[in-house]
Structure 1
């Protein structure tokens, strides 16, 4: 990180975790989607975002590392095997990247965003909005999607007792029906931040998450019929 770069804008590191293995769709991060491999879509939107200053891919796979570099991301070192299995803690893999950059360069970003490569249909404006929100002082920003939950099948604990989820006095105290989604997750790496911001994704194309062959085919149909504006 140069002094000029640090003075011009806050350092925000985008990390794209893209290991070589995959149970549902073998080597999915290197598979072609349109004119580029899957991982390259996340690299492209991260590099296009005006408020992301550095894009790094965390991978254990030399082929994915080469793809990432071809599209403009950094792969300063490969992820070790113990952080690359199906049950590996992705949080430790992110920490591995940050620690490695600090040890080598004394690089310490103000913010970090994580973009999982299985979400190819991201809008640059959405990513920029989330990063701006993070830099405004939130501890975390994240994307969520709405879910349908049959309230009568769920219970909440209150005062040592279980109450049906649909009871009015309990439901009023609960968060809306959403779940976290790997489209984007950001952390402010400074203790002065507070609060958590959630951005609800509603576009069905943005919500496409490639985990199986049918997901990849759906994504290819989106491209074939020009159903998404990438804003790159």
Structure 2
């Protein structure tokens, strides 16, 4: 299967100004994801989608191809991730390059275990899934079967629609949240406007590596984690 690695990194970050090229330890935030992509043996090619000249220069230094500059309308706060990926696919196809799937890699999730991307690709292919996402377990206190939401009358109801609550933690079904590290989706599903399709597989990440950088507080967490992860990336 021919899989395109796509790193998305626009300029104009508000939560952490200039975060994609900001140094986290000795290298830029973007560089962690570039290194992980370059380590993969199963990605056919890895490219960057960005509107920002400085980000593009960093990517090129990290041996990530930059075949285009992302259009302005896909680099503002209203642009959707799916439209950014669709644009990248359309551009590559216009140059005669066709891919069976896209592996979306976000710099805001910089820490991935060595071999994690390829493990995800192998599982995606073996299961013939429409898509695969990396996940982490939801802590039991936030399990959807223990979450309440207001109904139309203003009273609370169990968010899953059940009439009685599951009383024992041990009886709760497993639930997961997307950790942002890896998204793999077949091209045909992306063209329909979805990252997930009907057959959505998953791979559990190592929680020690988890951070999703959106705020300065997240950045501080990443700096603390980096101290313990340097030899594992």
TM range, smaller chain = 0.7 to 0.9
Pair 1:165–1:179, CA change in 2 (3 A)? farther
Aligned mate of 2:29, from 38, 45, 69: 38
Alignment of 1:41-60 (within 5 A): 41-60=32-51
> Which deviations, in whole Å up to 9, do the C-alpha atoms of 1:95-152 show, x marking residues without a partner?
1111011102x11112210011011110132211101112222111101122231615
Contact 1:111 1:134 (8 Å CA) reproduced: no
> Residue 67 in 1 paired to residue 58 in 2?
yes
The more displaced of 145-154 and 86-95 is: 145-154
Q: What runs of 5+ residues in structure 1 fail to find an aligned partner?
A: 1-9
What residue number does 1:203 align with?
Answer: 207
Distance 2:66 2:223 in 1: 27
The TM-score, its normalising length taken from structure 1, stands at 0.81
> Which deviations, in whole Å up to 9, do the C-alpha atoms of 1:184-206 show, x marking residues without a partner?
00012358x973211123423x2
Distance 1:145 1:24 in 2: 24
Alignment of 1:39-188 (within 5 A): 39-104=30-95, 106-136=96-126, 137-148=128-139, 149=142, 151=146, 153-154=148-149, 155-156=158-159, 162-164=161-163, 166-167=165-166, 176-188=174-186
Contact 1:12 1:113 (8 Å CA) reproduced: yes
Alignment of 1:8-19 (within 5 A): 10-19=1-10
> Which deviations, in whole Å up to 9, do the C-alpha atoms of 1:66-97 show, x marking residues without a partner?
10011010111111111111221111011111
Distance 1:177 1:165 in 2: 19
Superposed CA RMSD in Å reads: 2.4
What residue number does 1:227 align with?
Answer: 229
Distance 1:189 1:145 in 2: 25
